[in-house]
Amino acid sequence: MSTNAPPPYLTKNPLVYAANNPQANVSSNGTIVLNPSGAAAGAATVSVIGENGLQQVPIDVILAEINNTRANNPNLYNRLEKLVDANGFSSFQDALEIAAFDTSSGERSWEQFLGVRSQNPEVAADYAKRQGGGGSGGPINSTNTQRNLSSASQAGSIMDATFRSELGRTGTKDEALDFQKALNEQQQKNPTVSRTNGYSDGKGSSTSSTTTTGTFDPTRFAQEYARSQEGYAERFAGINFMKILDDAISNPNIVEQIVGEGIGGQAN
C-alpha cells in the first residue's frame, strides 16, 4: 500500500496539509523524513511518513526531530505547534502519547491523525472558545468609564493662564490648591464614558461602533471659576469703561449710540 500521498480528506485541512509539505526536512516527494535508527525496542511509537511509506517511530525520536525542526525550520515547527494546540494539548509529548493509540496508524501519520481529530466538533468548539471566539456569534456590548484628574502642576498651569486673561494676574499658592480641589471634584463628577455596541460572528470577524460622551473641558471650567473670584466684576467694568472711553475719543458719535442702545447694544 502506498502512503506517500496524503489521503483525500487531508486536503480539507490546510494546516495539516502544510505540515506534511514543509520547505525543509523533506524527501524528494515532499514528505517529512525522520530517521528511526536507534529506536528502543518496545517503546511507544507513532506512525510517520518516511521514504518507503509509513513507519512506526518511537515518540522520543519524534520529539528529538521536532527540536531539530524548531532550530532549522521554524515555519514548519510553528505549523506543527498550531496543530497540537488545535487539539487541546499543551505539549508535543501529550499529543504524541495520544497519537500512539490511533487505531488507524497503519493508514495515516500522527500529523494526519491530529488533523482529523481537530475537526471533531467538541475539540473544534473547545479550540474556538480558547481563541476567544466562543464558537458562536453574538452581540458586543461594553462600557468604559474614565476619569482624568489633573495634577497640581496641571491645575496650576490652567489656572494661571485663565487668571491672567480674566483677572489680569496669576494665582497664589493657596488659590492653586483651592482650584485643583474644585477642578478634581468636577472631573470626578463628569467622567468620559465610551459605549461600544456591535456584533461578532464567532469566527474572528466583528463590527462595532463606539460613542463617547461626557467629555469635560478644564479650560471652560477655569474660566467660569476665575469669573467667580473677587475682583473680576471690577476688572470687567474697568475694561469696558476704558473701551468706551477709547471709542468716544476716536469716534464722538459713539456716545449717542451708547445712550440710545445701552452698553450691551440693547435699547433702554
Query: For 38, which DSSP code?
Result: T
Q: Is 110 exposed, middle or buried (0-12, 13-18, 19+ CB in 10 A)?
A: buried
Whether 19 and 80 have beta carbons less than 8 Å apart is answered as yes
- Cell triple for 80: 506543527
Q: Are 105 and 112 in contact (CB under 8 A)?
A: no
Give the CA count within 13 Å in the CB-facing half-sphere of 236: 11
Please tell me the predicted confidence (pLDDT) of residue 230.
83
Decide if pLDDT at 4 tops 70: no
pLDDT given at position 237: 61
Residue 161 pLDDT > 70: yes
Residues 6+ apart with CB under 8 A from 36: 48, 50, 55, 56, 57, 58, 61
> Mean per-residue pLDDT for 28-39?
41
Domain ranges within the chain, ordered by starting residue = 8-130, 138-229, 231-268
For residue 13, pLDDT over 50 is answered with no
Q: What average pLDDT does this structure show over 162-169? A: 88
Written as one letter, the residue type at 190 is N
Give this prediction's pTM: 0.40
Asked whether the predicted pLDDT for residue 1 surpasses 60, the reply is no
